[in-house]
Chain A
Amino acid sequence: MREKIALNVNGQHHLVEVDPETPLLFVLNDDLGLRGPRFGCGMAQCGACTVIMRGQVVRSCVMPVSAVGQDEVTTLEGLGTPEQPHPIQQAFIDEGAAQCGFCLSGIILTAKAVLDLKSDASDQEIRHALGGVLCRCFTHIRMLRAIRKYAEEKRT
């Protein structure tokens, strides 16, 4: 059942030996020790497990690891480091846009992906993209403010 699978995650190559049907999320958490993507629902309903592949957000809780192929997987920790956060992470830091923080992969990566595709996306377009992302602490206002701040910086 176990197979050797090559993965490119956050610019690093890994070889893991797992059941190919294993959800990508479990491999990221358990085999690669990454903390950014998290198990929220296991049903692609909340966004806590979000990663970026080919510029698109992917719910890693429902994607078998065998389906990843050659594409690079970017997780929240792949954007920037505590010493050098990515500008969108910096905007979230500046705005204090978190409470428990469990949902952040979905929020930050979804917003980044939509603004990478369309840097002048309107507030409504950004919100629309965030339609499947849940924050139960309801930090919505600060999060949207941080995203808007990043969007403005990106344009200038």
Chain B
Amino acid sequence: MNLPRRDFLKSCGALIVSFSSGPLSLLSAQSPGPFGTHPSHIDPGKLDSWLAVGDDGVITAYTGKCDFGQGIFTVQSQLVAEELCVRIARVKLIQCDTSICPDQGTTSGSQSTPTNFNSENLALAAATAREALLSLAAKKLGEPVENLTVSDGVITSTKGRRVRYEGLLGNKHFDLPLNVKAKRRSVAGWTVLGKPIPSLDRTALMTGQFEFVHNVRVPGMLHGRVVRPPELGATVAHVDEQSVRNIRGLVKVVVRKDFVGVVAETQHQATLAARQLVVKWNPGPELPAQKDFFDHLQKQPADDALSVDSQDVDARLADASSVIQARYSYPYQMHGSVGASCAVADVKPESVTVWSATQSAYPTRSIIAKLLNMPLDKVRVIYMRGSGCYGLNGADAVSFDAAMLSQAVGKPVRMQFSRQDEMMWENLGSACTVQLRAGLAADGHIVAWDREDWVAQMGNRPGYDQPGNVITGTLLGYEPELPKPGSAKPPAGKFRNQSNTVPSYFAGCIAGNCGGDGTIRSERALTHTVRSPFFTGPLRSPLRIQNTFANECFMDELCVRANADPVAFRLLHLQNPRVIGVLKAAAQAASWQARSSAKPGVSRAGAVSGRGIACVAYEGNNGYAALVAEVDVDLETGTVRPRRFVVALDCGPISNPDGLRNQIEGGILQGMSRALVEEVTWDDRRVTSVDWETYNSLYLDYDMPTVETVFVTPANVPATGAGETAITITPAAIGNAIFDATGARLREVPFTPPRVKAALVESARKGESI
């Protein structure tokens, strides 16, 4: 099957524009997959799987990490240009096309940078390629490699002899494995990476030329819409196809178990048919009441897991000079992509092509093969950008829907969700409630900290084999992933803090090995995962934002009890130099005045202002940030207005400071919207926040605060993720600033005016401060 790479190269461009799936049948060899993924026909151990040098000098790179607006397309192009010593214009990056790109699983979890920008995968491939080209040049020019320099793909010897990359390899295979000893170019010498190169998609975006998945048009393409149940768990009783008989251009009503969709010649006809089709549904189960939902969560059977347990928290708390406890709650929130999800599928008897905005091209390919009962090697998924997703939005489900509809009519189908399809059925960010207890010694140190959280989950990313994790699969009869109730085993192995369950102030000791960021050795963190009545899935900073809101606000409560400055008190309980570094940097940049909260002498009427701080080691070791929030609070209305954010971020070497600032600003403001207004609502049957009038988001007219960003970059550390770090601490920093301004503690997101007013009343009653 050895398809020459040059054939790939010739066909790449044509494949994308002509929608041919010709070479697919040639790509059937199996080799073990990396990244915990399934076997793929693209061997990531081979250099040719990642890079090719064309006879025009263009370097084509293939990546399994795709750009949905976070800027990874530009920085991966910079990476390849940097390592190969060429201008960025010479790099052509192809992202997440399962026929030609390596399987790198899902683009998620702030993992693209750690995966592709350190010493493996794309970075290693590019370094291997540069060394291989230099070694070829050395042979050709008859001079040692040390005598050669490269500039924009031209290798020059000390004697002045020259050869171009394409003269060495143009259109030929490297035929080499990745060389684990290949050396990355040193950060100090970077000329392309590390620079604020303007994002490569900019001009096309601003001038309306950019091709989103929504813009894909295939000859002979029809239009699909789905008809979802009125509520989760409802099943089809009867579909009255006669009800849409009068709709011109209707091609087919597609029913498969509880999946219902329509296909028509135009979008308008498909929309009309979906609205008009009469479907009788058997009702689903009743939903738990929203008003008591967090109490409900705490009573459910749960899958328990301990992150850390020193087994002495009760004893130490009994000895403490003072103990405080509190419960923090975080609602379901939405990805709420501004564009309703869309995909295009062309299912032929012999091959399947799906243009999809999924973050998981290869897993989506596996699921589609399963749903259509097609051999895996006949299915190709081509990533095309959709509307920003921030995690698992409707992109996967709509891709499955498109494939189902196309198979049913035997023609290409463009499937477009309605706003309600998107918002009623997406995999929500999990609701979570956290119960915390901690004790202080007489000297003001924290002596013990205990925390338990209850998190609601059902479904997830579908991965390679769980279609039931999103709505389409469930309608087709597949089960979603559910928590399996059971008691917790004692923590074992290496300390991990993937979901930021454990506060930064814990020593994190398991069997004598301490991997936490802090000094508190009497520590327990127990998670109860319970069944959610709604689909859930990763939403930017999944569980990390929920847990950190609770941990960092509770830390602030301990500061108050200790009558200590929030920065100094945190430093007292931290030992990780990188967390300490960002905390100090943020405080300094914000001209933080050391004092305890609440701010002394604030009035009980009118507008007040305050500041709060929060910090995190994202996922324990994947980026570090501290954030100072300054807010105004109107005591009459309960309205919170953030005025200024100052953030310090440490993500190791920075690939593109402009792109990073864009991500940080977006993350903090998105975090602010989530902290202030975003909350999924439901009644006894169904989700009721299904459009932009029922689900709140801050519009462009919002009086935005300023965001100031400081980078902390220690020497000789690997690159970490950065897109989810700042958002993780935003609700906590705002909550702490509200307390500083008012003396009222907000323990439930979002901080809506009624909740703020209720907290003000509560604090006045308790005389908590002022």
Chain A residues near B (Cβ < 8 Å): 1, 18-19, 21-23, 26, 29-30, 33-36, 38-43, 45-46, 48, 75-82, 85, 89-90, 92-93, 96, 98-105, 107-108, 127-144
Contacts and interface: CB of A to CB of B under 8 A. Distances in A.
B338 A98 contact: no
A105 B698 CA distance: 18
A100 B387 contact: yes
Given A46-B692, A93-B198, A98-B205, A38 B214 contact: yes
Contacts of B697: 134, 136
Contact of B266 (A26, A90, A107, A143): A26
B385 A127 contact: no
B205 A139 contact: no
A139 B665 contact: yes
Provide the main secondary structure of the chain A interface: loop
B670 A138 contact: yes
Nearest to B217: A33
23 contacts: A22-B266, A26-B268, A30-B267, A39-B339, A40-B339, A41-B419, A45-B691, A76-B208, A85-B207, A93-B206, A98-B206, A100-B385, A101-B69, A102-B212, A102-B388, A103-B338, A127-B702, A130-B699, A130-B701, A135-B338, A137-B670, A138-B673, A140-B702
B703 interface: yes
Interface residues of B, number: 65
A22 B699 contact: no
B205 A142 contact: no
Contacts of A104: 205-206, 208
Contacts of A129: 701
Contacts of B659: 96
Contacts of B202: 92-93, 96, 98
Contacts of B706: 141
A137 B556 CA distance: 29
Nearest to B692: A45
B658 interface: yes
Q: Which residue of A29, A98, A140 has the most chain B CB atoms within 10 A of its CB atom?
A: A140
A100 B203 contact: no
A22 B70 CA distance: 34
Given A41-B691, A96-B662, A100-B388, A35 B269 contact: no
Given A76-B206, A99-B662, 12 more contacts: A22-B268, A26-B268, A39-B214, A43-B419, A48-B338, A82-B203, A92-B206, A100-B388, A101-B210, A138-B665, A138-B666, A142-B665
Q: Which residue of B206, B210, B214, B340 has the most chain A CB atoms within 10 A of its CB atom?
A: B206
Interface string B84-119: 000000000000000000000000000000000000
Contacts of B210: 35, 101
A101 to B, nearest CB: 4
Interface in B164-217: 198-199, 201-212, 214-215, 217
B248 interface: yes
Given A21-B268, A138-B666, A141-B669, A42 B212 contact: no
A79 B203 CA distance: 13
7 closest Cβ pairs, A-B complex: A36-B208, A100-B69, A100-B388, A76-B208, A130-B700, A77-B208, A101-B205
A127 B201 CA distance: 26
Contact of A46 (B209, B338, B342): B338
Given A77-B207, A131-B701, A136-B337, A141 B69 contact: no
B598 to A, nearest CB: 29
Interface in B492-541: none
B112 to A, nearest CB: 15
Contacts of B203: 82, 85, 93
Nearest to B393: A136
Interface string B655-698: 00011001101110110110000000000000000011100011
A117 to B, nearest CB: 17
A21 B275 CA distance: 15
B666 A38 contact: no
A135 B418 CA distance: 18
Contact of B700 (A35, A100, A133): A133
A41 to B, nearest CB: 4
Nearest to A2: B248
A74 to B, nearest CB: 11
B206 A132 contact: no
A133 B71 CA distance: 23
B704 A144 contact: yes
Contacts of B419: 40-43, 45
Contact of A141 (B267, B337, B707): B707
B602 to A, nearest CB: 28
Q: Which residue of B211, B337, B701 has the most chain A CB atoms within 10 A of its CB atom?
A: B701
B68 interface: yes
